[in-house]
A and B are shown apart, each in its own frame.
Chain A
Amino acid sequence: MLAFAMPPAFSRSDVDKIAALAHLRLSEEEIELFTRQLADILEYANQVQRIDTTGVPPTASVVTRHEADRADEVRPSLTREDALANAPDASLDAGLFKVPRVIG
């Protein structure tokens, strides 16, 4: 028995929706190409639906040891100047990244 219903076929409207979610603008050519290619890839990926995974816990991470806890102390890190050095637009004096207008 299938653990999940097979997802519906992938369409051009899916590409439009995902591109918006991912903040990607795509050309008309890319939209057509990705509609076809992603449909093929997802059809292949659908083979995972055939496996009975009832009661199987998901693996999000293969880390088996957790030694990362440490005291919450201030430590040296990047200087503000270093942190801003690669910005396309920044104000070093004010210590700010600059972006285009957000509100009308």
Chain B
Amino acid sequence: MSNLTTVRSIRDAVRSGARSAVEVCEQSLARIEAENPALNAFNTVTRAQALARAAAVDAQPDRAALALAGVPVAVKDNLCTRGVRTTASSKILEQFVPPFDATVVARLEAAGAIVIGKTNCDEFAMGSSNENSGYGPVRNPWDTGRVPGGSSGGSAAAVAARIVPAALGSETGGSVRQPAALCGIVGVKPTYGRVSRYGLVAFGSSLDQVSVFGLTVRDAALVLQTIAGRDERDATTADVEVPDYVGNLGGDLKGARIGVPSALFGEGLDADVRARVEDAVNAYRDLGAEIVDVELPHAGYSIAVYYIIATAEASSNLARYDGVRYGFRAEDPKDLREMYRRTREEGFGAEVKRRIMLGTYVLSSGYYDAYYLKAQQVRTLIRRDFLNAFEKCDAVLTPTSPTPAFRLGEKTDDPLSMYLSDIYTCMANLAGVPGISVPCGLTPSGLPVGFQLMGRHWGESDIIRLAHAYEQAHPLTERPGVRAEG
């Protein structure tokens, strides 16, 4: 039982009947009980529903055909689950029980996966440390005095602590890759339009994409190919064939070209992170890949562009929280206008208010051209930088995060320094290209480091194959210190 730590091993054991889905589910639920008091990774544990669903998988005669038969998964609490409270870690949605499932949740369950809980995150996915949650911060399994990253910190911590072998998060500017790096696991953000956003609580609609955490590249790829593909309920999903990411793994790296934008390895990059990522570059050279210099001349502007565009979209998306149709309403308002204002004052946390304010400002009359329009134009230049880079290489390699996991409270008084945690990740969201973060060792003080590969639009297969080749040669063998049954 104890060696069932990967999606594939669990799936195979449940398919063959060597293990029941109920046993596996109970093991996962026990891991939550053991670890969650220290981690605060879950907002809601769906024990009864999960056990019932696991029993249904066990009773299914054709379970050998299920891609994720009996695999326990955790789902970020900004993905709607029918009949199960979905808070987006906001007090304004504390009592919200969706009448429908997000498409990705429905697809996971149709494939035999068992959702065991909803994970803590930054409120409305706004944050890089998980400290903006309305339900308390998540802690990093490698050092519970440090953040797991954000915004999908609960999903990352749940996978790193071996509670589940895979989990869903969402990205707007790096909210899966960055916590994956800080927690020593794999995180993959697909191309914009690859995965349905139906049932994902909206933040920045032109940037948001459901993304996947796994302990291994193969597991993350398997989950991604299960949830990917056109959904008529999300008009931005594309009718592009989903490759068999797992089937394409393997082979040597001869002829593969990895682009390294060395100009981005300077100011602000932690020396230990830099050393580990440079080791990864050398490892690729040893594996037979060609390392080429590339330039992304506008990458340095990506944080400025991102925080203009993402907050503008957020200010519009979050206008729906008005106390009328769902969610919290302030008590005894004297009229409608006061109800709106007090509902939003009492229901939203500080970071969400800050971003609504910023987004409203950059969209307001007189500032629209100078900020929002200008940022959209620079977004075009960032996209073009990637297109130019991919003339010379198949993937762009950078650090995922400029630092390892930082201490709780270290950046909470300085929003701008927190925003800079996304410096390497948000450019992929702006360009719409896929990215994957892979663990590449520990710092001398024992904290995980990750590098990321960014690929061409619809080119997840290429970066997943490259990531897998590195992982096979240099697997992260260390485990986090929280109690983990081995």
Partner of A65, one of B238, B308, B373: B238
Say whether B360 contacts A21, CB under 8 Å. Answer: yes
Given A64-B457, A100-B333, A88 and B323 touching (CB < 8 A)? yes
Count of inter-chain pairs, beta carbons less than 8 A: 184
Partner of A26, one of B329, B340, B353, B379: B353
* In the complex, the 10 A-B pairs of residues with the closest C-beta atoms, listed nearest first: A62-B432, A58-B376, A68-B235, A86-B326, A88-B329, A82-B99, A53-B377, A25-B341, A25-B345, A59-B379
Partner of A38, one of B97, B329, B350, B361: B361
How close is A24's CB to chain B, nearest CB, in angstroms? 5
Name B99's closest neighbour in chain A (CB-CB): A82
Partner of A86, one of B96, B377, B379, B416: B96
- Number of residues of chain A lying within 8 A (CB) of chain B: 60
Distance between Cα atoms of A27 and B387 in the complex (Å) = 46
Cβ-based interface call for B124 (8 A): no
Say whether B326 contacts A51, CB under 8 Å. Answer: no
Say whether B357 contacts A7, CB under 8 Å. Answer: no
Cβ-based interface call for A92 (8 A): no
Distance between Cα atoms of A47 and B300 in the complex (Å) = 10
Name A98's closest neighbour in chain B (CB-CB): B324
Interface size class, chain B: 35 or more
Distance between Cα atoms of A102 and B362 in the complex (Å) = 30
How close is A95's CB to chain B, nearest CB, in angstroms? 13
Contact residues of A between 40 and 64, Cβ < 8 Å to B = 40-42, 44-49, 51, 53, 56-64
Say whether A40 contacts B416, CB under 8 Å. Answer: yes
Cβ-based interface call for B322 (8 A): yes
Say whether A57 contacts B193, CB under 8 Å. Answer: no
18 A-B pairs in the complex with CB atoms less than 8 angstroms apart: A18-B364, A21-B360, A23-B322, A34-B353, A41-B415, A48-B308, A51-B378, A59-B380, A63-B236, A65-B238, A65-B239, A67-B230, A68-B235, A88-B327, A89-B329, A99-B339, A100-B335, A100-B338
Given contact pairs A24-B357, A48-B305, A62-B192, a sample of 15 additional A-B residue pairs in the complex whose CB atoms are under 8 Å apart: A4-B370, A7-B371, A22-B344, A34-B353, A38-B357, A42-B358, A45-B304, A46-B304, A51-B378, A51-B381, A58-B377, A68-B235, A86-B97, A88-B324, A88-B326
Name B193's closest neighbour in chain A (CB-CB): A63
Q: What chain A residues lie within 8 Å of B375 (beta carbons)?
A: 45, 48
Cβ-based interface call for A91 (8 A): no
Say whether B358 contacts A4, CB under 8 Å. Answer: no
Say whether A15 contacts B357, CB under 8 Å. Answer: yes
Distance between Cα atoms of A42 and B362 in the complex (Å) = 9
Distance between Cα atoms of A56 and B374 in the complex (Å) = 9
Q: What chain B residues lie within 8 Å of A100 (beta carbons)?
A: 333-336, 338-339
Name A90's closest neighbour in chain B (CB-CB): B325
Contact residues of B between 94 and 112, Cβ < 8 Å to A = 95-97, 99-100
